[in-house]
Amino acid sequence: MKRVAVYVYPLATLVGILAVWELASRLGEIPRYILPAPSGIAARFYALHALIVKESLFTLEATLLGFGLSVLIGVPLGMALVSSRAFNRAVYPLLIGSQVVPKVAVAPVFLVWFGFGLLSKVMITFLIAFFPILISAVVGLQSTELEKLYVARAAGASELQLFRLVRLPHALPSIFGGMKVSITLAVVGALVGEFVAAENGIGRVLLSASGNMDTELLFAGIFALVVIGVVLFLLMEVLERLVLPWHISYRPSKETL
Amino acid sequence: MELVDVSKQYATADGPLRALERVSLSIAEGEFVSIVGPSGCGKSTLMLIAAGLVPPSAGSVHVGGREVHGPYGNVGVVFQDATLYEWRRVLDNVLLPAQIQGLDLERARTRARELLELVGLGGFESKYPFQLSGGMRQRVALCRALVHDPALLLMDEPFGALDALTRDQMNLELQALWQAHRKTVLFITHSISEAVLLSDRVIVMSPRPGRIGASIDIRLPRPRTLDFEDTPEFGRYAREIRSLFQSWGLLKAGA
């Protein structure tokens, strides 16, 4: 029963909010262009679903490419930072410091560098999604217990073997944690990319809907982004369970909460 | 295995800390030697030095007649915490040293299964560590230390985190394993009775800086059962060690 309750309570809250919203916009004085009713948004979504799905795929493409690039660069860079003391000293403080730069502000620069289109979108996505993966890789790789290394080292393990057999698998849960943060940030990155440097994607839909005061379409677009974010996050969860079957059980079970 | 005049200093904020001072120790092949001592007497450091994991500040370590200057592989180590790799199933945990040394994995697998069978873990090969109890994990760690058939077994308070009953059981299993395989064993503990029960020789270490205070041969027949702990001979050995601790002021006589 408790398992069901986990879903029932938030769902009931959500339905309640939607009902009040619907009622408020039907009875109240709020004009449709300020806050359209949920039913109106749903109708608009359905009417334009072909367009929304098509544009969503563009956004999804940029999100996944930017995220993939973040993993491909973030994890090896984390490894390098942990492996080489000199490299770490030279680069790590700057990487941390670089986070003070508002990343969205760099988007117009990327437009100049990479031009209008997919490449700019992907690079902006990468810029925003990459940092959590790097940090989680560094933290995970550095946190291996000394005795776990001792056991392998006493058996004669080389540095490479220590890395492959102990440090890296030990770091995977942390890396997955970073990837889950990163994948939701990647959606934001793709959207910023579309605001600045693209002629397609949900970002473009939002801009033109805003220009036309088409608030129903605006909300329909936001809903599509929510769906993309949730689906990607859940996919990461599934992937994590497949890759780390031993780790899930560390978490307190929902029954005990 | 032989340690010659081994000293170890650590640099700390309050100046150098002398952990070990001129410790010399020789263990014959197939001998079971325990080291008992108070906490902070450097016995864990001694084990890390013996394994080649930590370099001594002075002195030398010899294994099989050759001086070693780093990890040499021909050794199995067990720590107080089982330190199993959570991402590896039981069998793969046991196999790790064989994998590192590039041994024939088919043969290693057979040996790993035999070892697990010997400690009563047959059928648990594909469990993950989190599915095991503390005693079972420590048994897996013990199998892992033996899978590559090392000449030397180094154990640092391996049963210190277990409950008393499990600990007694593990002592008996370790004795049986040792009688079957006759490894050279260096066993570190703070339990006097554990040391007397298991060892051919008990080395008593004094508090910081760690020095060898006494070396006591335990001349009791094997296999020794837990009932042995009630015999007068056993009591005499235990008293002898205890009186050493008392003479250093670590235990108050009569209090």
| Strand, coil or helix: A246 | coil
Q: What is the mean pLDDT of residues A107-121?
A: 94
Tell me chain A's radius of gyration from C-alpha atoms.
23
What are the chain A neighbours of B87 within 8 Å (beta carbons)?
169-170, 172, 244, 246-247
pLDDT of residue A254: 43
> Per the confidence metrics, is the pTM higher than 0.90?
no
The answer to whether the Cβ–Cβ distance between B101 and A152 falls below 8 Å is no
Q: Could you tell me where the beta strands, DSSP code E, fall in B71-200?
A: 75-78, 152-156, 184-189
B221: left (phi over 0), alpha (psi -120 to 50) or beta: beta
**Domain spans in chain A, listed from the N-terminal domain onward:** 38-251
Model confidence pLDDT, tens digit, residues A198-241: 889 999 999 999 999 999 999 999 999 999 999 999 999 999 99
pLDDT at position A256: 40
Q: Does B73 touch chain A (CB under 8 A)?
A: yes
**Nearest Cα residue in chain B from A164:** B100
Q: For the residues B156-163, what does the mean pLDDT come to?
A: 91
Which residues numbered 150-209 in B keep a CB inside 8 Å of some CB on A?
Answer: 154
Contact call for A150 and B77, based on CB within 8 A: yes
Cα–Cα distance between A238 and A107 in angstroms, integer?
32
- A245: which chain B residues are within 8 Å (Cβ-Cβ)? 128
Chain A residues in contact with B154 by the CB 8 A cut-off are: 154
- Beta carbons within 8 Å of B39's beta carbon, 6+ residues apart: B190
Select A38-251's CATH number: 1.10.3720.10, 3.40.50.300, 2.60.40.420, 3.40.250.10. Answer: 1.10.3720.10
Q: Do A151 and B100 touch (CB under 8 A)?
A: no
> Domain limits of chain B?
2-74+151-247, 85-149
Element (H, E) at A55: helix A49-83
How high is the pLDDT of residue B43?
87
CATH code for B2-74+151-247?
3.40.50.300
Residue B100 to residue A145, Cβ atoms within 8 A? no
Does residue A253 surpass a pLDDT of 70?
no
Chain A hits for B81, CB-CB cut-off 8 Å, are 147
Whether A249 and B97 lie within 8 Å, measured CB to CB: no
Q: Is the CB of A156 less than 8 angstroms away from the CB of B71?
A: yes
Distance CA(B16)–CA(B11), nearest Å, equals 4
Q: What is the ipTM of this complex?
A: 0.91
Which three-class secondary structure state does DSSP give residue A240? helix
User: Searching chain A, which residue's CA lies closest to the CA of residue B149?
Assistant: A155
B50, closest residue in chain A (CA to CA):
A154
- Asked if B48 and B152 touch (Cβ cutoff 8 Å), the reply is no
Please give the DSSP secondary-structure letter assigned to residue A247: T
Q: How many residue pairs from chains A and B have C-beta atoms closer than 8 A? A: 72
Min Cα separation B50/chain A (Å): 10
Any chain A CB within 8 A of the CB of B102?
no
pLDDT at position A249 is 55
What is the Cα–Cα distance from A41 to A217, expressed in whole angstroms? Answer: 7
Q: What is the mean pLDDT of chain B?
A: 91
**pLDDT band at residue B211 under the 50/70/90 scheme:** confident
Tokens of B139: 């048994």
Residue-level pLDDT at A255: 42
Please report, as a single letter, which amino acid is at residue A202.
I
Neighbours of B95 (CB within 10 A): 22
